[in-house]
Amino acid sequence: MSSTLPLPFFGGTCSKAAFSFSLKSSSPLVPFQRLQLFRSTSRTTTRIRSSLFHSLKAKATAELVQDKESGVVATGKPVVEHSRTFIEARSEQELLSGLRKEVDAGRLPPNVAAGMEEVYQNYRNAVFQSGDPAAVGVVLSNMTVAFDHWLLDVEDPFVFEPYHKALREPFDYYMFGQNYIRPLIDFRNSYVGNLSLFYEIEEKLKQGHNVVLISNHQTEADPIIISLLLEKTNPLIAENMIFVAGDRVITDPLCKPFSMGRNLLCVYSKKHMYDIPELAEMKRKANTRSLKEMALLLRGGSKIVWIAASGGRDRPDPFTEEWYPALFDSSSVDNMRRLIEHSGTPGHVYPLALLCYDIMPPPRQKKKLEKKELSPFMGLDYQ
């Protein structure tokens, strides 16, 4: 195994320049500024969204426990006839009125509908700020597909395996995510630093080597942002990168369709292992399975794995408001080192720096899911 910098990271100097993604705003009209809306939403809206996430997560986590304990993936269930309310919408009015129709029909829980409408309003405002003359059509097209797949997952929830391979057909979830986030990026003022290193990585992958990117983490859209900035120059990396993902993105119904389009190794964060004590053992077993999956993947070679070594998203300094990478968990870094060393295949570790928080800034305060917050549906807003 070769490493481009000494461990622990940020504790020494790099023998090679680190990658850097930087998403910048030069005008209040560019897409990046728009998602200041997520940061500056009113307290009332924040409470609604937080309540939705916390209530939704409980059910999904409980269902995962049942599936994992029984050793059976949720298959063989009766086929659910999918409503076409959203996919047939031809205007904003029809799309939003469809929420009430689905709630009244009992197909969509009211709290999920409220979350969907909030996402719609934020997304619309963000895209409109870009100044794109086609913004109305872009918003309607992307949100129609998003609403349809959120409803689809409520009707027939998708269950992720420890290693999830991106679903590209019959519906291409990868391109769905690309097309949804694309209008939120001002490509004219964004850049990829040290692009030559990505070409170097592509060559190593073609030679059968493994590559691990030890990265900071700023938004839930990081995997899609990385793919968007590399899709023209390095499509091999953009489409084949495997992301080590926490449980939120595979249980929150508003996140799941985007996650279904990425290659994921699903793990439970150590920071939240005991949020619900009775689920801790299940989480540990699930993480062991994911670790074994990763070991098998690396033995096959030609794999590129992204991991946020801090275990969560960056937060700004409370006094200076400056963003900086959260501290890395040394055990996570060491686990990746050992996995590469024991894979029997040449491996390389590279640092990756991301600066993209304007897209979807995380909440300023981290919140854990408490047992008392369990309710009939699931969701979460933490890290």
Q: Give the Cα separation of 135 and 282 in Å (integer).
A: 45
Q: What is the rounded distance in angstroms from the CA atom of residue 101 to the CA atom of residue 104? A: 5
β-bridge partners, 163: 265
Distance, CA of 77 to chain centre: 27
Residue 172 annotated among the catalytic residues of the structure? no
What is each CA distance from 109 to 80, 125, 253, in whole angstroms?
Answer: 16, 25, 12
Closest CA to 162 of 60, 285, 334: 285
Q: Among the options 156, 275, 314, 329, which is catalytic? A: 156
Burial 242-270 (b: 16+ CB within 10 A, else e): bbbbbbbbbbbbbbbbbbbbbbbbbbbbe
Distance between the two ends of the chain, CA-based, in angstroms? 31
What is the distance between the alpha carbons of residues 122 and 190, in angstroms, rounded to a whole number?
A: 22
Task: Decide if 269 contacts 280 (C-beta within 8 A).
Answer: no
DSSP label at residue 279 = G
Q: Are 267 and 81 in contact (CB under 8 A)?
A: no
Structure tokens at 379: 């969701």
8 A C-beta contact, residue 165 and residue 95: no
**Three-state DSSP class for residue 192:** strand
The CA distance from 286 to 267, in Å, is: 7
Report, as residue numbers or ranges, the catalytic residues. Answer: 156
